[in-house]
Amino acid sequence: MEELEQGLLMQPWAWLPLAENSLLVKAYITKQGYALLVSDLQQVWHEQVDASVVSQRAKELNKRLTAPPAAFLCHLDHLLRPLLKDTACPGKATFSCDRVDEAMILRVQSELSGLPFYWNFHCILANPSLVSQHLIRPLMGMSLALQCQGRELATLLRMKDLEIQDYQESGAVLSRDRLKTEPFEENSFLEQFMVEKLPEACHVGDGRPFVMHLQNLYVAVTRQEIQVRQEHQGTGDPQPSSSTSPQGTENQLLSQPEEPVSSAPSLPVTEKDPTGPSGPVKRPQLSKVKRKKLRGLFS
């Protein structure tokens, strides 16, 4: 199950609109099983199952369909992929959810081989360690990354101001007055941002802004977490694979499993008729110009 756990961590969050509310969802599916996380911004639910559970549940929910577990997993992958890849282009499936005590059942309805297909994700409350791993630590890492980015931008603005000042002292004149700007003043900028921009910028809403604009950064931060963890465990650099490799998740939201799920085969319609299962380059050193240390944007 380690592949599922690590593969799920590498996935970004997707926004799932429902009739009654909306959810944040992330999933990872292979031929051996799947892992799923669901959140309504109040609680987090989780399910992780192997092929044997998939087979048993498929028999209970789809009595007229008989196929190996890998075929059902492939179909689930095809149903979830459009959702997790592009919320503006949902797949051909209907989602709904029910809450029973502290559990959540996420129901999926679609068609397979011309017959109705049903699936229920039975999710239980995620333990604190899982919430920390998928939300708290990545969000803290993202905050630190954005703070560092702000510092770099503030430094760049100060350097641009010095460049403009040098041009002016050399006799250069701005040809269009509308392009003139005042020198960047960090404290004034921060005060103005807190008053005018902060209320709108930190509006979480239903979680959709987080999903729409920050998932590339989320994946980069979780990927870095995995690399650091592997180094601490003495495994060295992570080996490329679809579930752990940065290339496997950089441009897609539901990454391919280590053994890619093949296209779903046509499933025979039967009445309880079971079938069988399935070297470093030396670079020239450049002299560094020592310059005055500048104060960061969010110091």
Please write the tens of the pLDDT for every residue from 52-108: 999 999 999 999 888 899 999 999 998 888 877 765 555 678 899 999 888 999 999
Give the whole-angstrom CA distance, residue 5 versus residue 94. 26
* 89 and 41 both lie in a single domain: yes
* pLDDT at position 88: 53
118: pLDDT strictly greater than 80: yes
Banded pLDDT at 254 (limits 50, 70, 90): very low
Name the nearest CA neighbour of 16 among 84, 65, 76, 77.
84
* 103 and 21 both lie in a single domain: yes
* pLDDT at position 297: 36
Residue 262: inside a domain, yes or no? no
**Positive or negative CA dihedral for 151, 153, 155, 158?**
negative
Give the whole-angstrom CA distance, residue 194 versus residue 201. 10
**CATH number of the domain within which 14 lies:** 2.170.210.10
**Pairing mode, if any, of strands 115-125 and 94-100?**
unpaired
* 86 and 148 both lie in a single domain: no
Banded pLDDT at 215 (limits 50, 70, 90): very high
* pLDDT at position 246: 34
Q: Residue type for 56, please? A: Q
124: pLDDT strictly greater than 50: yes
* pLDDT at position 1: 56
* pLDDT at position 91: 61
Q: Residue type for 263, please? A: S
* pLDDT at position 235: 53
* 221 and 118 both lie in a single domain: no
Range of the domain at 198: 138-231
State the residue for tokens 């559990």: 103
Q: Residue 63 — left, alpha, or beta (φ > 0 → left; ψ -120 to 50 → alpha)?
A: alpha
* 96 and 151 both lie in a single domain: no
Give the whole-angstrom CA distance, residue 167 versus residue 180. 13
- The token duo for 198 is 């902060």
User: CA 236, 240, 242: angle at the middle one, nearest 5?
Assistant: 135
**Mean pLDDT over residues 182-186, rounded?**
91
- Of 108-117, 198-207, 211-220, 263-272, least confident by mean pLDDT is 263-272
* pLDDT at position 278: 42
The CA-based dihedral angle spanning residues 85, 89, 91, 97, taken in that order and rounded to the nearest 10 degrees: 80
Contact (Cβ atoms closer than 8 angstroms) between residue 114 and residue 99: no
Q: Which of 196, 216, 231 is the last residue of a domain?
A: 231
Whether the pTM exceeds 0.75: the reply is no
* pLDDT at position 81: 83
Residue 281: inside a domain, yes or no? no
Residue 193: inside a domain, yes or no? yes
145: pLDDT strictly greater than 50: yes
Banded pLDDT at 2 (limits 50, 70, 90): confident
Name the nearest CA neighbour of 15 among 46, 52, 33, 41.
41
**Mean pLDDT over residues 282-289, rounded?**
45
* 87 and 49 both lie in a single domain: yes
* 147 and 105 both lie in a single domain: no
* 49 and 124 both lie in a single domain: yes
Q: Which residues pair with 96 in a beta bridge?
A: 107
Banded pLDDT at 203 (limits 50, 70, 90): confident
245: pLDDT strictly greater than 50: no
- The token duo for 116 is 């109705």
The whole-angstrom distance between residue 56's C-alpha and the CA centroid of its chain comes to 30
255: pLDDT strictly greater than 90: no
* 100 and 184 both lie in a single domain: no
Name the nearest CA neighbour of 265 among 127, 37, 68.
68
Helix (H, G, I), strand (E, B) or coil at 107: strand
* 79 and 148 both lie in a single domain: no
Q: Which of 101, 129, 157 is the last residue of a domain?
A: 129
Banded pLDDT at 112 (limits 50, 70, 90): confident
Q: How many domains does the chain have?
A: 2
* 93 and 164 both lie in a single domain: no
* pLDDT at position 166: 93
Name the nearest CA neighbour of 146 among 229, 228, 214.
214
Residue 270: inside a domain, yes or no? no
Q: Which of 172, 205, 231 is the last residue of a domain?
A: 231
Residue 2: inside a domain, yes or no? yes
Residue 55: inside a domain, yes or no? yes
Residue 116 is classified by DSSP as E
Residue 249: inside a domain, yes or no? no
Residue 87: inside a domain, yes or no? yes
**CATH number of the domain within which 203 lies:** 1.10.287.450
**Mean pLDDT over residues 122-144, rounded?**
95
* 71 and 191 both lie in a single domain: no
Give the whole-angstrom CA distance, residue 170 versus residue 173. 9
